[in-house]
Structure 1
Amino acid sequence: MRRHILIVFGLFVLVAIAAAVYVGWPDTARLPIGAVEGKTPTISTPRVQTIPTIDVADAVGWPAGAMPAPAPGLSIKAYATGLDHPRWLYRLPNGDVLVAETNSPPRGGGGIRNWVMKHLMGKAGAGAPSANRITLLRSTKGDGVADVKTVFMTRLNSPFGMTLFEGQLYIADTDALVLVPYTDGATAITAKPELVVKLPGGGNHWARNVIPAPDGRTLLVSVGSSTNIADDGIDAEQNRAAILQVWPKEKTFRIYAAGLRNPNGMALTKAGQLWTVVNERDMLGSDLAPDYLTQVEFGDHFGWPWYYWGGYPDARVQPDNPQLQQYSKRPDYALGPHVAALGLAFADGAKLGAAWSNGAFVGEHGSWNRKPVSGYKLVYIPFAATGFPVAGAKPVDVLTGFLNKDGKAQGRPVGVIVDKDGGLLVADDVGNVVWRVSAVK
């Protein structure tokens, strides 16, 4: 009898999860998304969920001739097509563009949690094996289109961030920071990557980014958490949910800033200040917690997993950590709940007009656990002369239309950079396109 009850209960759980995956768990947003954006977002009462709200947009790709809709005064064209899940972009000194064609590494293990994760990734267009490739794009005709597309580098493991530093090209694989020698103008690198430091691998957040640190002597590497809220214990999150500072010659690192659930895009301002965008926690309802854009300084702790938005406790995390509450840093700017902010680029060098000349561009990959969905667009955060977002300003749409009229994802924006001519390049990992945004002439 006991065995029969357990079987029935197990079937009930599977049916409930299947229902959540296909129709979305009934926790709809009770606040307009604008209320959870800006410098002072509304932080509502958490609605703790055992089964998360699931309402991911099915990935269908772009029909022939279709493309995102730009803001007034801007135009768009395809810079490069026919890519394989392009996620991240990096501009070389000569203007060539590197694009990481990449995806999550294989996920081992079974269990309901892994089954749900794999199913969601498939629906969202991220179920295919990683190409593990960096491709070089070059525009030689001055028309804003890459007429050269060539394999630049292979022998990588879910690569993401890339940066040139002291004559070497550094690549952030999912489990290691590696380097190869670089020659200006090279169209391919065949050297075997050299290990700099090993990075924590596995878990839910696989993408690692890398940029030069403000001190000009070290590198910064972002590593997301393994789980939502340290579900497997805090020991499983060692050197995760953090930005690491790496000494490349010594091949050592330390934690630069912590409590960042999934920092991804990182960028420096002209003044050398570090900023990042962060994906916050799930299963507190469709209105919590807001993803954010924030300045980061050495020694900062942003609260994860115990606190969000500068001190709001997450009662699910046990044992608690009351002494951290007073030190938990409040982020500078809320981007809205579950928008999945990944890409980040400041407007330095952009030639899109005065309205887009002092601020940050953020690629919002799009939610999987909010109803209605959020993100799925490129936005702009205007900055003031103080070096921080304008008080009272909300995100401004730059590119929309990634969702079609049926709510399916034609594309999903990720990395964003400014190209050598002042245009904006945006990686679209569902459309398999790099888009170029420019000012209307």
Structure 2
Amino acid sequence: MRPLHAAALALALAFQAAPAGAQQQQTGPDPTLPEPRRGLLPDMTIPRPTGWNDARPTVPEGYAIQAIATELRIPRQTLLLPNGDILVAEGSGGKQAPTVRPKDFIAGLIKNLGKSPVPGGNRLTLLRDADGDGTYEMRRVFAENLNAPYGLALVNGRLYVANQDALVRFPYRDGQTEASGPPELVAALPSEINHHWTKALAASPDGAFLYVGIGSNSNIAERGMMAEQDRALVWQIDAETGAHRPFATGLRNPTALAIQPGTGQLWAVVNERDEIGPDLVPDYLTSVREGGFYGWPYSYWGQNVDPRAQPQDPAKVAAAIRPDYALGSHVAALGVGFSTSAMGERFAEGAFVGEHGSWNRRDPVGYKVVFVPFRDNRPAGPPVDVVTGFLDGEGKARGRPVGVTVDPRGALIIADDLSNTVWRMTPSR
């Protein structure tokens, strides 16, 4: 190992072993925001992987959970097909992003400590439970040779896949078990550097448009604003022609998108900025307004100015929209799915959120699936822990939840990209 790398690794491990600090929870529509705290390096601790062995996630009384697929290759998001089949997007991207500061190199070392060593599959895998008994006895590669696929949507007989560099589509007929050929390009997506590589995807209720979440190319524009062209936003793409335009901007990393049933409203979970303390800035769940600006990089949680973004833009700050609901700082929300009454009275109205878990605070947070209750189509009340146990009693990580998908027949599908498992939680019958 080169001396510079060895020294950086030693420093990273020192931060990994740092004693735990106080934890401040901030959730809901009006979180308490402490004063920013900056230092040479942010607090960095990531739980080391340990595997599930004979354990499984913990779910509320009256519910059961089981693994329906294991030994996958970095499952990230899932899609429920009309006949009940499940498609799993497997992949990992963004590896070409160069470091611009020594702290970026160290942060990369820390993050890698919490990842699966399995290479990304660059494929879609289909799971089928033909007899409806909860066991998915068929598993088949639906499509391969993709480029870090992430977002999935089925619209008017076409399966759309958001790779890290392009939105593509396949023709799809009900019950199909593998793609009939290579995909068709719909639109190229911003992919230079790809600091945040995931491309979230949702379709409008009428299928006319696709919405793609595109993350920033930095934490706080340290690569310059030219590197942020067409980044930190949601694109609206014409499903037929591929023509696109910005739908909403200033969203640092919109990692999952969903359409709210009954209203047609687009919602997103967004990962916020780092390096100003363990309790700043809250990641959030928000409705996404057409033409709206959500602050990044100039401000956070509405109009709280971030002086690190230079040059500043007071007009942008004044226009910044306050998000709807804080999930807590650094929980790394990567999945969102609206529930149905089939999930039981406790979870009948609201959204499940997959929290991948922190790397940049001493006390880890996230590493679970929570439920945000809604009333009158808006978040109402504190989040409820639903699927936990991803951290064991020694603080090691058995798994890390990513995408969450609700089966309207009564199941929650959870992609776990550390143990390479897909879990299925159901109400006990």
Shorter-chain TM-score: which interval?
Answer: over 0.9
Q: In the aligned structure 2, how far is the partner of 1:22 from the partner of 1:399? A: 31
Aligned to 1:159: 149
What are the within-5 Å matches in structure 2 for residues 79-158 of structure 1? 79-107=68-96, 109=98, 112=102, 115-126=105-116, 128-158=118-148
2:210 corresponds to:
219
Asked if 2 retains the 8 angstrom alpha-carbon contact of 1:59 and 1:411, the reply is: yes
Q: Tell me, in whole angstroms, the C-alpha distance in 2 between the residues paired with 1:81 and 1:42.
A: 40
Structure 1: any 5+ residue segments left out of the alignment? 1-9
Deviations 1:389-409 (A, max 9, x none): 11xx21100011100111111
1:46 aligns with 36
Question: Do the aligned partners of 1:376 and 1:412 also contact (CA within 8 Å) in 2?
Answer: yes
Number of the residue aligned with 2:188: 198
Q: In the alignment, is residue 433 of structure 1 matched against residue 421 of structure 2? A: yes
State the shift of 1:120 in Å.
3.1
Post-superposition shift, 1:249? 2.2
CA distance in 1, matches of 2:134, 2:187: 37
Q: Which moved more, 1:198-207 or 1:106-115?
A: 106-115
Per-residue deviation, residues 329-370 of structure 1 (Å, max 9, x unmatched): 00000000000001100003x523101100100000000001
Per-residue deviation, 1:29: 5.1
The 10-residue stretch of structure 1 (321-330 or 76-85) with the greater mean CA deviation from structure 2: 76-85
Hey, what's the Cα distance between the residues in 2 that align with 1:113 and 1:166?
A: 46
Match of 1:7? none
Q: 1:247 aligns with which of 198, 218, 238?
A: 238
* Match of residue 301, structure 1, among 287, 293, 296: 293
Structure 1 match to 2:389: 401
Q: CA deviation at 1:193?
A: 1.4
3-state secondary structure, aligned to 2:346: helix
Pairwise mapping of residues 18-57 of structure 1 onto structure 2 (< 5 A)? 18-24=10-16, 30-33=22-25, 36-57=26-47
Alpha-carbon distance in 1 for matches of 2:19, 2:325 = 25
8 Å CA contact 1:381–1:389 kept in 2: the answer is: yes
Cα distance change on mapping 1:207 and 1:408 into 2, 3 Å: same
Separation (CA, whole Å) in 1 of partners of 2:244 and 2:327? 30
Q: What TM-score, normalized to structure 1?
A: 0.91
State the 1:305 CA deviation.
0.5
Specify the SS of the correspondent of 2:342: coil
> Matched residue of 2:302: which SS?
coil
- Whether the 8 Å contact between 2:73 and 2:119 is mirrored in structure 1 is no
C-alpha distance in 2, partners of 1:82/1:75?
Answer: 21
Q: Secondary structure at the match of 2:382?
A: coil
* 3-state SS, counterpart of residue 135 of structure 1: strand
Gap runs ≥5 in structure 2: none
Indicate conservation of the 8 Å contact 1:21/1:54, yes or no: no
The answer to whether the 8 A contact 1:29-1:287 is kept is no
1:374 maps to what in 2?
365
1:78, CA displacement in angstroms? Answer: 1.2
Tell me which residue corresponds to 1:344.
336
**Aligned residue type for 1:59:** P
Partner of 1:424: 412
- Residue 70 of structure 1 aligns to a residue in which SS? coil
CA contact (8 A) 1:338 1:374 kept: yes
> Residue 19 of structure 1 contacts residue 25 of structure 1 at CA under 8 Å; is this kept in 2?
no
2:351 aligned partner? 360
- The secondary structure found in structure 1 opposite 2:318 is helix
SS of the equivalent of 1:69 reads coil
- How far, CA to CA, are the matches of 2:249 and 2:116 in structure 1? 28
Contact 2:45 2:110 in 1 (8 A): no
* Amino acid in structure 2 at the alignment position of 1:252: A
Match of 2:379, SS state, is coil
Provide the C-alpha distance between the structure 2 equivalents of 1:31 and 1:25, rounded to a whole number of angstroms. Answer: 17
Q: CA–CA distance in 2 between the matches of 1:18 and 1:42?
A: 35
Tell me how many residue pairs correspond in the alignment.
424
Instruction: Tell me the percent identity.
Output: 44
Corresponding residue for 2:308?
316
For residue 240 of structure 1, report the CA deviation from its aligned partner.
Answer: 0.8
CA separation in 1, counterparts of 2:403 and 2:188? 24
* CA deviation map 1:236-292 (0-9, x unaligned): 011111000001322211100000011011111121111110000000110100000
